Amino acid sequence: MNQSYCIFAAQYFPHLGGVERYTYHLAKELTARGDRVVIVTSNVQRLSSYECMDGIPVYRFPCLNLLDGRFPVLKPTGDFFKIHRQLKHQRFDKVIVNTRFYPHSLYGVLFGKIRGTKTVVIDHGSSHLTVHNPFWDTVGGWYEHLFTKILQLFCQDYYGVSQASVRWLKHFHIRAKGTLYNAIDLKEIQARLDKPKRDFRKECQIPNHASVITFTGRLLREKGLLPLTQAFSQLQKIYPDTYLCIAGDGDLEQELRAIDDSHMKILGRLDAGEIIDLLRITDIFCLPSVSEGFSTSLLEAAACGNYIVVTDTACPYELLPDHTGGTILRELSASAIADGLCHALEHPKERQTAIKNTYQKLTENFTWDIVTDKVQAL
């Protein structure tokens, strides 16, 4: 029997990030199965308050763009109440709230609670949000604890996108009901691999014999990008035929572009298909992040046959249970990253075995058809 879902996500396309892609793919798979899905988000980029995207209705609440849009806060304007009335007159069987600490999330759980609709919160984090300021990080931590307590008054069903997220929920004295893993569409990725539209080796003038190291994601300080660029400078002294490709946008983009290194390619924001084109020519994918719930980028890299080098604070151990699936760095420093990349370049046979192991884990656990089965069974 087909069902109707209302999915709340504080940020959504065209804003690009892991939660946005999670929301999109879940909605897309549910819709493909005949279910009805409505997405409710924040109007971070001042677009129309309503739009039908890929056949999925998207409502955008007016908001204040705090922290450069990273923390949207709902504004109770005329448009807000207009959307509220439109949602109130629609029937939903389930309400899904992505992430836990936005005012948008509180609206979502209240919406479900008042209507008596099955409501779940999916947590995507594994640490507190940081703005790299000790005082404001402390204030932010207090806020998150208080806000989570308020959220618990109206919703008791919490899930994590990884075991790391489930463990992080325990920090707030929440026992998760289970995991709803992040996932990818393998068929879609394979179709793009078979028919790429961009040749990044040719565009970036990378020789065929050279090794390519890639990062994709938001260009933020907490992603470990500055230590990665420092590590790459060290690496080139040993392996001069290596290139570093960085794709994405964010606060560090101009600082990264200012680095004078012809082997470092700052590509800016790429769409989903272009990311696959880039990963197609990549040998090693590196994610030296401070923390991650379950990075979509890692799943995409595994699907494209990349060897993975990742910090243990960003590692989804369900995908890489140990070093047989990739290199797991125990610290975030330029020297540790350089050592990990050197080890990967020095052991090509070990890399190929790890790539096969990771791909098998991926196909058995982290596809959208598997995750959507779980969501429909809630």
Dihedral angle, C-alpha 43, 47, 49, 52, nearest 10 °: -110
Per-residue confidence (pLDDT) for residue 313, from 0 to 100: 87
pLDDT tens sequence across 24-81 = 999 999 999 999 999 999 999 999 999 999 999 999 999 999 987 889 999 999 999 9
* 225: nearest Cα among 270, 286, 281: 286
Cβ–Cβ < 8 Å for 284, 215 = no
The mean pLDDT value for 348-365 works out to 95
How many beta carbons lie within 10 A of that of residue 350, not counting itself?
Answer: 16
The residue behind tokens 């892609």 is 21
pLDDT tens sequence across 331-352 = 999 999 999 999 999 999 999 9
Per-residue confidence (pLDDT) for residue 351, from 0 to 100: 96
Would you place residue 18 in the very low, low, confident or very high pLDDT band (cuts 50, 70, 90)?
A: confident
The residue behind tokens 């993975």 is 308
Residue of higher predicted confidence among 229 and 315:
229
Mean pLDDT of the chain: 95
Residue of higher predicted confidence among 68 and 189:
189
Does the pLDDT value for residue 286 go beyond 90? yes
How many beta carbons lie within 10 A of that of residue 139, not counting itself?
Answer: 12
> At 37, is the secondary structure helix, strand, or coil?
strand
The DSSP 8-state label assigned to residue 248 in this structure reads -
Per-residue confidence (pLDDT) for residue 133, from 0 to 100: 87
pLDDT tens sequence across 103-162 = 999 999 999 999 999 999 999 988 888 877 899 989 999 999 999 999 999 999 999 999
Per-residue confidence (pLDDT) for residue 55, from 0 to 100: 94
Cβ–Cβ < 8 Å for 225, 256 = yes
The values of phi and psi at residue 353, to 5°, are -65, -45
Burial class (CB in 10 A: 0-12, 13-18, 19+), 367: buried
The mean pLDDT value for 10-35 works out to 93
The mean pLDDT value for 314-328 works out to 90
Does the pLDDT value for residue 217 go beyond 90? yes
Does the pLDDT value for residue 201 go beyond 90? yes
Q: List, in order of start, the domains of the chain with CATH numbers.
A: 4-180 (3.40.50.2000), 186-365 (3.40.50.2000)
Per-residue confidence (pLDDT) for residue 138, from 0 to 100: 94
Per-residue tokens: 157: 């069903």
Cβ–Cβ < 8 Å for 94, 378 = yes
Q: Strand 50-53 to strand 56-61: parallel, antiparallel, or no bridges (unpaired)?
A: antiparallel
How many beta carbons lie within 10 A of that of residue 156, not counting itself?
Answer: 14
User: Distances from the Cα of 377 to the Cαs of 7, 141, 222, in angstroms?
Assistant: 16, 34, 36
Per-residue confidence (pLDDT) for residue 71, from 0 to 100: 92
Would you place residue 1 in the very low, low, confident or very high pLDDT band (cuts 50, 70, 90)?
A: confident
Per-residue confidence (pLDDT) for residue 59, from 0 to 100: 98
- What amino acid is encoded at 87 in this protein? L
